[in-house]
Structure formats: C-alpha cells, structure tokens
C-alpha cells in the first residue's frame, strides 16, 4: 500500500468538491475580494497551481539527484507573489484557471502514487538552515492546500 494513500484520497476529495465550488463562484467574489495577503481568489488558485507544480518538480528531482537536493524555493523572499504577478493570474480566464488547478493537482496525486519508497528520506534544502525530506514534503502539501482552500472559503462567505 502507498504510504500516502490517505493523503491522496483527501486531495482527490478536495479537488472533486472544490472544482464545482470554484466554477460556481461569482466573478465579483473571485476577482475583487482579498485575503490578508491581499490576494484575490484567482490569485490564491494560481498560487496553488504554482505550489503543486514546484512540488512535482521537487518530487521528481529528489528521486534521481543527490541528497540533499539544492533546488530553488520559489516561495522565499516574496517570490511566490512575483510568480502570481508575472503570470497575471488576476486576468486568467476563470474556467481555464480552475481546470489548470484541478489537473495540476490530479497530476500531483499521480506523481505521489509513483514515488520510489526508497527515496522518502532524501532531503531538499529549503533554506540554509532547513532541510525537508521527501516524505515530509508530501505530507505537508495537503496542509498547505487546505490552508489556501480555507482562505478561499472565508472570502466566499464574506458579504
């Protein structure tokens, strides 16, 4: 059995539930309301795409490169906001962005299902002072996704 089966099932459930919620959200809410980081729903969804994409790349690299892996941390020093701005998620077509979010996360689950268990202890140097094992990174991914989904939920519930 895959050690991440519970995580994968949880991710698949979230994807299934949230695709429809996102697609049925009003244009005003997704484009205008902002969270504490001053991000709209569209920008939060774009950030989740970036996160999944970067994690997929780390998972792949951690299975064939020397450990500890030196790989850029796109989220440090505000770079994740640069990614959001450069890709201009705010003006992305909403349907396409939601589908990109869905399929990027489905691919993340697929990649996780195929991790070589012998590589779970391989580490990524997240900073000069922090290393993260492949196993820890995969487990933390669902926490991160749920954090951003809860931010979206708050924005959708605001009057």
Residue 67, pLDDT score: 95
Burial 72-96 (b: 16+ CB within 10 A, else e): ebbbeeeebeebbeeeebeebebee
Residue 55, pLDDT score: 96
Residue 159, pLDDT score: 67
Residue 49, pLDDT score: 98
Residue 78, pLDDT score: 77
CA-to-CA separations, 15 to 53, 103, 148, in angstroms, rounded: 15, 9, 13
Span 5-157: which CATH code?
1.20.120.450
Structural domain spans, the chain: 5-157
Residues of the chain with pLDDT under 70: 1, 159
Q: Is the N-terminal amide bond of 68 cis, ω within 30° of 0?
A: yes
pLDDT digits (tens, 9 = 90+) for 43-88: 999 999 999 999 999 999 999 999 999 988 888 777 899 999 999 9
């Amino acid at each position: 059995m895959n050690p991440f089966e519970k995580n994968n099932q949880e991710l698949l459930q979230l994807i299934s539930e949230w695709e429809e919620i996102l697609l049925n959200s009003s244009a005003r809410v997704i484009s205008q309301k902002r969270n504490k980081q001053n991000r709209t729903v569209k920008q939060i969804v774009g950030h989740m795409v970036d996160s999944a994409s970067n994690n997929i790349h780390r998972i792949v690299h951690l299975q064939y490169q020397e450990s500890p892996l030196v790989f850029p941390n796109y989220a440090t020093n505000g770079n994740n906001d640069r990614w959001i701005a450069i890709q201009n998620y705010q003006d992305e077509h909403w349907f396409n962005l939601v589908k990109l979010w869905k399929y990027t996360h489905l691919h993340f689950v697929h990649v996780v299902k195929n991790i070589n268990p012998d590589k779970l202890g391989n580490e990524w140097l997240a900073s000069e002072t922090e290393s993260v094992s492949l196993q820890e990174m995969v487990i933390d991914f669902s926490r991160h996704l749920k954090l951003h989904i809860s931010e979206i939920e708050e924005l959708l519930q605001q009057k």
